[in-house]
Amino acid sequence: MKASAFVYPWDVNQDPGAPARIAGLGVEQVTLAAAYHSTRALTPRHPRHRIVTAEYAAVLYPPGERWAGRGLRPYPAGRWAPGDAYGKAAEALAATGLEVHTWVVLAHNSRLGAEHPDTSVVNAYGDRYPWAPCIAQPATRAYLVDLAAEAAVRPGAHGTELESLGWYGLQHLHAHDKTAGVGLGEAGQYLMSLCFCPYCRAGYDGQGLDAEEVAAGVRNALEPLWRGRADDEGWPTVAGALGEDTAAGTRAWRETTARTLQDEAVAAVRATAPDGFQVLLHADPVPYHCGADAGVDPAHILSVADGVVVPCTGGTALLAPFAGQARERTVLAANLTVVSGMGGSPGTLAADAARARAEGATELRLYHAGLASDDDLAGVREALPAR
């Protein structure tokens, strides 16, 4: 199977040996970050640094003229990825024969929420999630669609992978995160991720629901969790707590909102990109799920995009719903962590890849060439045939 390694520009720039080292893993492609959220990243082999702190969500290239005069616009990166950091890294990687695809993070942006708090998801208690832009808001949607088109179609790129193209909820690796004291489970995560900003309140009204009654119902449903009594069977628990009709109405609003945004963003990328440009989404086959792997309807998304990137480090079960809807040229990329310190297992990569192939995967994604230790990378080289 074709394999691609995730890479940040700061893994490559100012490290002359990085492109050949990545190509030497046996991958045919790199998925290179062009727009990324804030992070603190280890760079275990870089000759000039060991830690990179990306202080806020940013584009890793100079943003274009389309943003002039707009209130919501992308932030250029700071000293961690100055100038056209993406372009420099892409050129160096392509020179080794690697095919470069862009990696674009969309609805995950803490600086946007800090500077424009009204754009954030608001939970049933009135708390804002500054890392999670509300994708129902027209200005936010326009920003995300334009960002997708610009960040995806960088010079020389053969395709893109769009991450966080949907709802982002409570679950978030935040600075010094202290949210694990209560096990929310799938139902609790959904309830805590429902948005009650003015646009979403209007959306619930459009589903025949009273938004204030829905919010009160969510708070009541969550009370047992705060007392430590968790009874979680996923969606049946949500439906039982809110009532079937109310639960279905919230889900209809959110899934329609996410699906139409995904459609618009993919269309915008295609309108900008050259023929043959590949468009993939990081996706979860459960439409109401939130996060970096956006919840989607498998049949619909595979009729719109060229394929999906599916998290498979914990197992390959999420591939099957997509495999059942795949077309002749659909890309089903199994995303496997190869960083031992982050729960990956490069030593079992060959076996994991074989299991993924058996479940319908057509390609591999390896997370992450820049974060992995030397021993982890050696395991990747052993598992992948030399190019």
At residue 152, what are phi and psi to the nearest 5 degrees?
A: -70, -45
Residue found under tokens 């591939």: 319
Provide mean pLDDT across the span 313-317.
Answer: 94
Is 232 a member of any domain?
Answer: no
The number of domains in the chain is: 1
Kindly tell me the burial class for residue 13, based on how many C-beta atoms sit within 10 Å of its own C-beta (0-12, 13-18, 19 or more). buried
Q: What is the pLDDT of residues 243-286, one digit of tens each?
A: 999 999 999 999 999 999 999 999 999 999 999 999 999 999 99
C-alpha to C-alpha distance for 365 and 337, rounded to whole angstroms: 8
Strands (E), 159-298: 159-163, 278-284, 294-295
Is 18 a member of any domain?
Answer: yes
Would you tell me the crossing angle of helices 244-272 and 138-152 to the nearest 10 degrees? 40
Note the pTM of the prediction, 2 decimals.
0.96
Is 189 a member of any domain?
Answer: no
Is 163 a member of any domain?
Answer: yes
User: What pLDDT score does 242 carry?
Assistant: 96
What are 68's two structure tokens? Answer: 């002039």
Strands (E), the chain: 2-7, 29-36, 39-42, 51-54, 58-59, 99-105, 120-122, 128-133, 159-163, 278-284, 294-295, 307-311, 331-337, 363-367
Which value, in Å, is the radius of gyration of the alpha carbons in the chain?
Answer: 21
Is 318 a member of any domain?
Answer: yes
CATH code, domain carrying 265: 3.20.20.80
Q: For residue 314, what are the domain limits?
A: 2-181+257-383
Checking if the pLDDT of 386 tops 70, the result is no
Q: In this structure, what DSSP letter does residue 76 have?
A: B
Report the mean per-residue pLDDT for the chain.
Answer: 95
Is 249 a member of any domain?
Answer: no
Is 86 a member of any domain?
Answer: yes
Is the separation of the CB atoms in 160 and 152 below 8 Å? yes
Checking if the pLDDT of 197 tops 80, the result is yes
Tell me whether the omega of the peptide bond preceding residue 37 falls within 30 degrees of 0, making it cis: no
User: What pLDDT score does 177 carry?
Assistant: 67
Is 186 a member of any domain?
Answer: no
